[in-house]
Amino acid sequence: MPESYVPKISVCIPTFNGAGYIRQAVESVLDQNSQDYEIVIVDNSSVDQTVRIVEDLKKEGGGRIRFYQNNKNIGLAGNLNKCLEYAQGEYIKFLCVDDVLLPECLEKMSAALDTHQSVTLVCGGRIYISETNKKLGTKRYASQSIIIPGNKVISRCLYGKCYMGEPSAVMFRKKDLTGFFREDLPQLMDMEMWFQLLEQGELLSIEVPLCSIRLHSEQMTYKNIRSGKLLDDNVKLFDSYSQKSYLETTPLLVIQHKFLMAYRVWISRKFISDKKKRLVLRKYASKLAYLLMPFIWCAISLKKWTVSKIIYFQKI
């Protein structure tokens, strides 16, 4: 492709030791219905075969693939910010290295941004898959395609979970960015970025699945849950946004949040101090809900869900 070519979409793939998945991720982009894109891969100082595989993929990419390597590991948020720095496209589409895009993803998401100038974030449905590509379930923001004011989405998610989805599930305009991914949020840096974008406009939710999100034991999510970093992120994010004047808070949302925070304390209980546990339960959660968690966990387990699905769907 000519060097002067400016793509409409930058598909950004941050990776660290992703050799086992990166070929499938890149091929899912090359198979898109829409072809007006570049692929920006930023490697966070991997020690596996990622570099060799990407060099081979560049030969298949028709000049669409640009590859950068960090001299040292700068963390996930830092690497996401590097992707933004290198991206040349009008629209930003992240793709985590262990996820894949479905063929209509770029076409449908970019068309949504083309049509609705008031929309600052587009999200699509996503299929959750196992390490071996087995389908585990689906998630979406809403049961039908819909446009929602940004403040309503922030209100719902701040007191609940990141219903918009992971980086692989959204698209936005580069010009709408007002900041960067926060490096003090090792787990929820994406949710906070979606909040930044939604403070300026609306969310457009596409109900059909447009990507597949892979669940596996090596994901950072599991480590962050157990270490208490996810709990810390929830506290920081709530403190940053709970006093915003645009929030639409209801008693039901408050109760839901206290219940979820009690759950988050419970799953991290073996890895956080008693002092932190008491503080979070007193200020953000419900002590009664915390005491009930063993019984609730048993009830959920009786439904024969896998542990990975339980943890993932409840993580934020």
Residue 303 pLDDT? 56
Per-residue pLDDT band at 316 (split at 50, 70, 90): very low
On the question of pLDDT at 205 being above 60, the answer is: yes
Mean pLDDT, to the nearest integer, of 132-151? 95
Residue 308 pLDDT? 46
Mean pLDDT, to the nearest integer, of 34-45? 96
Task: Give percent above pLDDT 90 in the chain.
Answer: 82
Spans of all domains in the chain: 9-214, 220-314
On the question of pLDDT at 310 being above 80, the answer is: no
Residue 1 pLDDT? 57
Mean pLDDT, to the nearest integer, of 93-108? 98
Strand-pair category, 65-69 with 37-43: parallel
Per-residue pLDDT band at 4 (split at 50, 70, 90): low
The encoded tokens of residue 229 equal: 């970093």
Phi, psi of 9 (to 5 degrees): -125, 135
- The rounded mean pLDDT for the chain is 92
Distance CA(257)–CA(237), nearest Å, equals 13
Mean pLDDT, to the nearest integer, of 260-264? 93
On the question of pLDDT at 180 being above 90, the answer is: yes
Residue 223 pLDDT? 73
Distance CA(124)–CA(93), nearest Å, equals 12
Q: What is the CATH code of the structural domain delimited by 9-214?
A: 3.90.550.10
For residues 47 and 123, the answer to whether their CB atoms sit within 8 Å is no
